[in-house]
Amino acid sequence: MESTKSANLMIIKLLIIQCLAFVCIAQDFDFFYFVQQWPGSYCDSKQSCCYPSTGKPASDFGVHGLWPNYKDGSYPSNCDPDAPFDPSKISDLRSNMQKEWPTLACPSGNGLEFWGHEWTKHGTCSESVLDQHDYFATTLSLKNQVNLLQTLENAGIHPDGGSYSLQSIKSAIEQGTGFTPFIECNVDSSGNSQLYQVYMCVDTSGSNLIACPVFPHGKCGSQIEFPTF
């Protein structure tokens, strides 16, 4: 009788430990979208743009963000009001951020507002894996790992204001990175569809590209413009 009781107690204890372990390991998201923007398309649209106070960015894709996402297409946001953006935690990354993650919104800023927005809205939702410093460091290292402009140029696709087939852009990126991207378009001031943002999917560690579990919605034309910048 006593031994059945203690065996039962043991089973209950084991179940509790398993449950706790599950909660500890459980991810609060399924994967990341790593999103890059073409500055020429941000600027060449209704909203227009302002160069950062540190000067005109290079003619290259810039980071928009690293966004935790669920496999069903929905996503968490603004997950931790107790983790406000703290610029002092990324002072070692600052010059790289200015280069790779420039802000183009008006009025001109030094980037802190854009980075702070991305941390608060998206970064706080992956805190179980990446603290604030690692969130930005990981994103910068993805930018380094995926050279979109080089990949497109290798395939003869240049930011020259010309029109390219959406399929040729997707294929070039697939060739270069091994994974199919999602391409988001916006519309220039004369109404042409143009290459605005490129989404790649990344595993929950933030280190490895993966095949996208789900693509965002939205449509480009079959021919899209790649504006100069």
What are the catalytic residues? 64, 118, 122
* Separation in Å, CA 15 to CA 9, 26, 27, 175: 10, 16, 20, 47
| Lookup result for tokens 């854009």 | 114
Q: Is 99 in the site for ligand 5GP (CB under 6 A)?
A: no
User: Cβ of residue 120: shortest distance to ligand 5GP, in angstroms?
Assistant: 10
Residue of 41, 98, 103, 193 that binds ligand 5GP (CB under 6 A): 103
Kind and range of the H or E run holding 3: helix 2-25
One character per residue 32-61, x = contact with ligand 5GP (rule: CB under 6 A): -x---x----x-------------------
Q: Is 216 in the site for ligand 5GP (CB under 6 A)?
A: yes
Q: Is 196 in the site for ligand 5GP (CB under 6 A)?
A: no
DSSP-derived 3-state class of residue 225 = strand
Selected range binding ligand 5GP among 80-88, 103-111, 133-141, 165-173, rule: CB under 6 A: 103-111
One character per residue 110-139, x = contact with ligand 5GP (rule: CB under 6 A): ----x--x---x------------------
CA angle centred on 30, ends 27 and 36, rounded to 5°: 125
**DSSP code at position 135:** H
| Lookup result for tokens 């106070």 | 53
